[in-house]
Amino acid sequence: MTEPLRLRITEIFHSLQGESDTIGYPTVFVRLTGCPLRCGYCDTAYAFQGGEWMSLDDIHARVRQYRTRFVTVTGGEPLAQKNCLPLLQQLCDDGCHVSLETSGALDVSGVDPRVIKVVDLKTPGSGEVDRNLYANIDRLLPHDQVKFVICDRADFDWSVEMLNRYDLASRCEVLFSPSFGQQDAAELADWILQDQLPVRMQVQLHKYLWGNEPGH
Ligand code: SF4
């Protein structure tokens, strides 16, 4: 008998999507345990270790308890567990609107094309800029999103350079987000307008509603 596919899960919860192009929609979040990065601003360090093994069927059953078709698979770094890929596929097969939040450090080529990939490009201020896998840029689909979490003016300038170098805005939506508690949001908005950038600015809605509380 073959063993059921399993994943190590930190939490599954229902909240409002705080970022990306479905911001504000009630969404089920599946947070996978583990991450090979250590960004300075990380707000989910509690997902680095621990968690509970769950079969894909059990995860699926939990997701279906909620009356929303929006599902976000996040972490940690969800792609660090290989069974993330069949989970994404199963959720899509079930008719869910599935997004994947990933650090941009791991290969996204195996991700089901129905999934909306929200791919970070780690800025210098994150402390993990050397982990960016730039080959992922050619794997972006028009419905995907590239996200920059900006810690300061140097991060902003670097992000503009990446925007231009890879012509990111012609590939998919580009999100600029201030690092919470580090970069003033209004200042970032002014910089975007001054430079007339083709990007979408976002603040993390869930943090304004609930702060850094896990499970939101
Ligand atoms: S990639 Fe995400 S989960 Fe991993 S350390 Fe960075 S912010 Fe935290």
Question: How high is the pLDDT of residue 21?
Answer: 83
The set of protein residues with a Cβ atom below 6 angstroms from ligand 1 is: 35, 37-39, 42, 44, 75-77, 103
Q: Residue 40 is which amino acid?
A: G
All residue ranges of the chain with pLDDT < 70 are 1
Cα 22 to ligand 1 centroid, rounded to whole Å = 21
Among 19, 29, 37, 126, which is best to mutate for testing ligand 1, by the most ligand atoms less than 8 A from CB?
37
Question: How high is the pLDDT of residue 1?
Answer: 66
Output the pTM of the full model.
0.95
Closest residue CA from atom 6 of ligand 1 = 39
Question: How high is the pLDDT of residue 66?
Answer: 96
Question: How high is the pLDDT of residue 206?
Answer: 83
CB 74 within 8 A of CB 13: no
Cα 188 to ligand 1 centroid, rounded to whole Å = 22
> Which value, to the nearest 10 degrees, does the dihedral of the CA atoms of residues 148, 163, 78, 141 take?
140
